[in-house]
């Protein structure tokens, strides 16, 4: 039995009425399935048909994050813009970072 079929059977076993609340464990499983199917290119209507719920329910499931879940993030290193410093005596230094300007300043004063 496929995951979608198993979830659809669980949904259909619930009392049918507008505004019904899904049990938390079922809601989490539906959200995981919906995210996976969406990542594979299925739209909310198609996912709703597979699961036996409405398209607005699928959209809400896609927007929800699992409780306590960590989301994968990436990091990027931001480069600071090049500095333009005028040192005493009128010398203009461009293109160095802060450490480079400090090193140059030490070298010029020693």
Task: Report the distance separating Cα 110 and Cα 103, nearest Å.
Answer: 11
Which domains can be identified in the chain, with CATH numbers? Answer: 3-63 (1.10.10), 80-110 (no CATH)
φ, ψ of residue 92 to 5 degrees: the values are -105, 125
45 close to 57: Cβ distance less than 8 angstroms: no
Average pLDDT score, the chain: 85
Q: What pLDDT, on a 0 to 100 scale, did the predictor assign at position 85?
A: 81
34 close to 62: Cβ distance less than 8 angstroms: yes
Beta strands per DSSP E along the chain: 83-86, 92-96
Q: Which residue has the tokens 């927007």?
A: 63
Q: What pLDDT, on a 0 to 100 scale, did the predictor assign at position 68?
A: 61
The structure's pTM equals 0.57
Q: How confident is the model at residue 102 (pLDDT cuts 50, 70, 90)?
A: confident
How do residues 79-99 score in pLDDT, each as one tens digit? 777 778 887 778 788 888 888
């Amino acid at each position: 039995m496929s995951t979608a079929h198993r979830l659809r059977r669980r949904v259909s076993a619930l009392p049918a009425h507008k505004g019904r609340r899904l049990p938390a464990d079922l809601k989490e499983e539906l959200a995981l399935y919906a995210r996976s199917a969406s990542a594979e290119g299925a739209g909310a209507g198609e996912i709703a048909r597979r699961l036996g719920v409405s398209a607005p329910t699928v959209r809400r499931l896609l927007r929800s994050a699992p409780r306590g879940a960590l989301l994968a993030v990436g990091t990027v290193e931001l480069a600071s813009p090049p500095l333009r410093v005028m040192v005493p005596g009128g010398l203009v230094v461009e293109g160095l970072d802060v450490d480079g300007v400090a090193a140059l300043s030490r070298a010029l004063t020693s």
